[in-house]
Amino acid sequence: MVEVDASCSGLGAVLSQRHGDPGKLHPCAFYSRKLTVAEGNYDVGNRDLLAIKAALEEWRHWLEGAHHPFQVLTDHRNLEYLRGAKRLNPRQAWWAIFFTRFVFTVTYRPGSKNGKADALSRQFETANEPDEPDLILPATAILAPVQWDLMEEIRRAHADEPPPASCPLDRIFVPQLFRQQVMQWVHEAPSSGHPGIHRSTQLTRRQFWWPSLGSDVEEYVHACSTCAQAGTSRHLPERLLEPLLIPRRPWSHLSVDFLTDLPDSGGYRHGRSGSVLQGVQVDSSQVTTHGHAVGRSHVPAPVPQLRPAQGHRVGSGSAVYLPGVGVTVCPSGHWGEPEFGLPPSIKRAGGAAKPGDWPLPQILL
pLDDT of residue 322: 55
pLDDT in tens, 104-129: 999 999 988 888 999 999 888 765 66
pLDDT of residue 275: 44
| Residue 358 DSSP SS3 | coil
Identify whether 22 is preceded by a cis peptide bond (ω within 30 of 0): yes
Taking phi over 0 as left and psi of -120 to 50 as alpha, with beta for the rest, 193 belongs to left
Domain segments of the chain: what residues?
Answer: 2-121, 149-226, 254-364
What are the backbone dihedrals phi and psi of residue 353, each rounded to the nearest 5 degrees, phi first?
A: -85, 150
The Cα 126–Cα 28 span in angstroms is 28
Q: Which CATH architecture has domain 149-226?
A: Orthogonal Bundle (1.10)
In the CATH hierarchy, which fold is given to the domain comprising 2-121?
Nucleotidyltransferase; domain 5 (3.30.420)
pLDDT of residue 229: 83
What is the chain's Cα-based Rg? 43
The Cα 128–Cα 162 span in angstroms is 36
The Cα 99–Cα 77 span in angstroms is 18
The Cα 261–Cα 295 span in angstroms is 10
The answer to whether 298 and 276 are in contact (CB under 8 A) is no
Residue ranges, the chain, pLDDT below 50: 270-277, 297-313, 315-318, 324-365
Q: Which of 119, 36, 116, 47 is nearest to 76 (CA)?
A: 47
What DSSP string describes 270-292?
Answer: -TTTT-EEEEEEEETTTTEEEEE
Who's near 64: CB < 8 A, 6+ residues apart? Answer: 56, 101, 102
DSSP state, residue 268: B
